Amino acid sequence: MKRKTVDPKYSMCVQPSFIIGTTNEDGSYNFAPITWVSVTHEEDDRYLLVISMSGTKRTKQNVIRTGLFSANLVSTDLLPLMDYFGSKSAKDGQKNDIAYNVSKGIVLDVPTLDESPWVYECEVSRSVKTGDSTTFFCNIRNIQMDERLSPSDIFDIDLTILDPVIYSGRYHSLGKTLGAIGDFCKNEGK
């Protein structure tokens, strides 16, 4: 494979798409799409959800104010809702022009999207500011997952069932499961 050097502005990074649910000061809910989401390992075999938000959007202000949010994985059937939330500002009022169902979190008082196949209920542990972005390191207090999943461990999540939207400047989806860790080394010598 031949590669070429390009300007660092091409910062393509494959990212899962989430709709972040927060509660406004008046008790109403607010949802916004965020793709700067990852995890990091914490002490005692725990994981922290890591999420970055830039600017002054209401979702970011709500997370700073309450320290709580839900991260609702966007499956391909939720893409129109994600696109809608990304196109409409909370400053213009409630985002209710499209029908969607909301429930409260099971462990935390956060709004969750009923249609999402995987929902994290999160509480901010600490945050770091870089420029106009804030990165939140969050304790995952609960995970709600599609009942069709029955993973044997944390590396056994069938993404073809979750059908996540992947973002890298454009929206993409997954095609198929290729195998597990170690499957390809076993066949290398044959």
pLDDT tens string 58-86: 999 999 999 999 999 999 999 999 988 88
Q: Which CATH number do you get for residue 82? A: 2.30.110.10
104, part of any domain: yes
Q: Let me know: does 137 contact 50? Beta carbons within 8 Å.
A: yes
10, part of any domain: no
179, part of any domain: yes
Residue that wins the pLDDT comparison between 75 and 99: 75
16-54 burial, b at 16+ Cβ within 10 Å, e below that, comes to: bbbbbbbbbeeeebbbbbbbebeeeeeeeeeebbebbbe
**Least trusted range by pLDDT, from 9-23, 45-59, 86-100, 145-159:** 86-100
**Least trusted range by pLDDT, from 25-34, 90-99, 135-144, 148-157:** 90-99
Q: Which residues pair with 28 in a beta bridge?
A: none
pTM of the model: 0.87
Q: What is the mean pLDDT of residues 2-15?
A: 78
86, part of any domain: yes
pLDDT at position 10: 59
Domain span at 143: 15-185
User: How many separate domains does the chain show?
Assistant: 1
2, part of any domain: no
pLDDT at position 15: 85
Q: Which residues pair with 123 in a beta bridge?
A: 68, 139
pLDDT at position 133: 94
190, part of any domain: no
